[in-house]
Chain A
Amino acid sequence: MSNIIAIARKELKAYFASPIAYIVIGFWALLYGWFFVFILNIFVRQSMQMGQFGMGPQSVNVNQQMIRPLLQNVTILVLFLMPMVTMRTYAEEKRSGTIELLLTSPVTDFQIIIGKFLGAMALYGVMLAVTLIHIAILFKYGQPEWKPIATMYLGLVLLGGTFISLGLFISSLTKNQIVAGMVTFAVFLLLWIVTWVGSAWGSTAERVTQHLSIIEPLDDFAKGVLDLSHLVYYVSFITFGLFLTAKSVDSERWRG
């Protein structure tokens, strides 16, 4: 356990020692704020219109009309920024030769992988923490329900976890972090838009692709629905990604 923490700490420190953490968090905060202001404007206009029709401001729901679309848009940011978080994890260690230090230390591959995963998750946690400021503003001036927000954040954490586990795997395949970043982005995008193809091909394909889609379950989380099958989906996706990483690291060993 202490090995995992040591590696996770090192990973998190490395993000903040290089400009990556600041660029990612900076862009994230800027774009999140942008979305927030944009959607807030729409929301305010809607509730004013509702008021004019004499239905009173209470008839518009902050959770449904404001927070849900906001966080759905935010998932796009995750798609764009996550490759930057994961691309260097293994690729850079392989390029600089520090992988030799890790693999000749008395730690197991499993500990290294989990450590790296948790390090990236910690950075993602910092990113999510930044967004709580905006949610706090909504709580100050409105009465949103906290439960759907909590499930939505749980969904975001799981979505980030899937991206990170997959990104870790892709990074373990190459020495070049640019290649790792590009491939990761392409794969994420594919998982994102898989439903578009599905809906064009008819109902069976649509059902299949909906099960594959990485964002589809997120809508339920945003509604405040905790569906066990979604949890299983994300957790097994993460496990699978980490498993692939372990296999990739192990096979690299044999090939030398």
Chain B
Amino acid sequence: MIEVQHLTKRYGRITAVDDVSFRVERGEILGFLGPNGAGKTTTMRILTGYMPATDGKAIVAGFDVFDQPVEAKRRTGYLPESPPLYPDMSVVEYLDFVARIKAVPSNERRQRVKDVMARTRIDDMANRLTGKLSKGYKQRVGLAQALIHNPDVLILDEPTAGLDPKQIIETRQLIKQLAGDHTIILSTHILPEVSQTCQRVVIINQGHVVAVDTPDNLTARLRGTDTLYVQVDSAGSDATAALTRVPGVTRVAESDRRDGAVGYEVDSERGRDVRRDLARAVVSSGWGLLELRPLRLSLEEAFLAVTKEDMPAAAADSAAPEGGTVQ
């Protein structure tokens, strides 16, 4: 559905996007992940026909965005980083205008406006001026605008930026519902978003694609050993040694200590589940078992690891700061 081949964009001497290639299949949600200034927005702007690439090719819904821009744009819905609203227009007026310029047939226009307002749940704001809406509603009007002509491809630049947690969850659910009918590219620098909504991730850093994979594979690929987090209380000083004696455990390290409770990070051989033995060992020693959970390498750490591959000076071992940041 979307094919990007060797895309390069230079602004004068600065190269914002350098030889980026990837594909998105029909109905897929692709996460576009990268730190600020990595070239996400530039890539999206090229895909939507907002700006031309210096080099390379982008095909959206079967049309080259540079050679047949009008055809490609007709099949693309785009939500820029800040929703492109006219503050003096009401929500209905605005969506009606967008429907007109997006070539929605005039006899369907009214119905389409109604449909997208229901879908993005903004009907109660229909006659409010878009300039007076809260950030969350503005974002939803922006999403409604991108959906109005029922495009094959949806390109969303940080759709959840600036929303409150409840709105973020709602928006993610909406995006998930839209997949299937629509092919979606979603950019973000929030990692949980990618693991929750996307089937595949493209990680981009300094204009280069550094990884393309599923969120699960990406975390698994970078994880050498399986790690568990164990928190116990009233444990003696021999606890580390006692835990190390559990069969399969390769390393035990104390990670935190709070109000008498001590947390340990326990590494085990790959593919061997030591949780039962570990629990038994704790209980039989007479300690209280407060917590026992797997510590997965979060996408955040995976992300830091792959973006650091470019900079060999920074050792990969520092790429595992706080565990469990992915909710």
Chain A residues with CB under 8 Å of chain B are 2-3, 6-7, 9-10, 13-14, 17-18, 96-108, 253-256
Residue in B closest to A3 when the chains form the complex, CB atoms: B101
**Cα distance, A75 to B106, chains bound together (Å):** 40
Binding-face segment, B80-88, B188-196, B285-293: B80-88
Task: Choose from B51, B89, B101 the contact partner of A105 (Cβ within 8 Å).
Answer: B101
Query: Which residues from A are CB-within-8-Å of B86?
Result: 10, 14, 96, 98
Q: Is the CB of A6 within 8 A of B51?
A: no
Q: List 21 A-B contacts (CB under 8 A).
A: A3-B103, A6-B100, A7-B101, A10-B86, A10-B97, A17-B89, A18-B88, A97-B82, A100-B84, A101-B145, A102-B101, A103-B50, A104-B48, A104-B49, A105-B73, A106-B74, A106-B102, A107-B70, A253-B51, A253-B52, A256-B11
Q: How far is the CB of B163 from chain A (nearest CB, A)?
A: 18
Task: Choose from A2, A14, A255 the contact partner of B100 (Cβ within 8 Å).
Answer: A2
Residue in B closest to A253 when the chains form the complex, CB atoms: B51
Q: Is the CB of A98 within 8 A of B85?
A: yes
Task: Choose from A14, A104, A254 the contact partner of B78 (Cβ within 8 Å).
Answer: A104
Q: Is the CB of B42 within 8 A of A100?
A: no
Query: Which residues from A are CB-within-8-Å of B42?
Result: 256
**Cα distance, A147 to B98, chains bound together (Å):** 43
Q: How far is the CB of A246 from chain B (nearest CB, A)?
A: 15
Q: How far is the CB of B42 from chain A (nearest CB, A)?
A: 7
Q: Does B268 contact A (CB under 8 A)?
A: no
Query: Which residues from A are CB-within-8-Å of B98?
Result: 101, 105
Interface residues in B89-120 by Cβ distance below 8 A to A read 89, 93, 97-98, 100-103, 106
- Number of residues in B with C-beta < 8 Å to the partner? 33
Task: Choose from B11, B51, B70, B93 the contact partner of A13 (Cβ within 8 Å).
Answer: B93
Q: How far is the CB of B142 from chain A (nearest CB, A)?
A: 9
Query: Which residues from A are CB-within-8-Å of B85?
Result: 96, 98
Query: Which residues from A are CB-within-8-Å of B80?
Result: 97, 100-101
Indicate whether A6 sits within 8 Å of B70 (C-beta atoms), given known contacts A96-B87, A100-B80, A103-B50: no
**Cα distance, A153 to B82, chains bound together (Å):** 44
Q: How far is the CB of A142 from chain B (nearest CB, A)?
A: 43
Query: Which residues from A are CB-within-8-Å of B307?
Result: none
Interface centre among B9, B51, B82 (most CB of A within 10 A): B51
**A106-B74, A254-B51, A256-B51 known, 16 other contacts, Cβ within 8 Å:** A3-B101, A9-B97, A13-B89, A14-B86, A14-B88, A96-B85, A97-B80, A100-B45, A100-B78, A100-B84, A101-B80, A101-B145, A108-B70, A253-B52, A256-B9, A256-B42
Indicate whether A6 sits within 8 Å of B78 (C-beta atoms), given known contacts A13-B89, A98-B85, A103-B50: no
| Binary contact readout B37-60 vs A (1 if CB under 8 angstroms, 0 otherwise) | 000001001001111100000000
Q: Does B205 contact A (CB under 8 A)?
A: no
Interface centre among A102, A106, A108 (most CB of B within 10 A): A106
**Cα distance, A102 to B101, chains bound together (Å):** 8
Query: Which residues from B are CB-within-8-Å of A108?
Result: 70
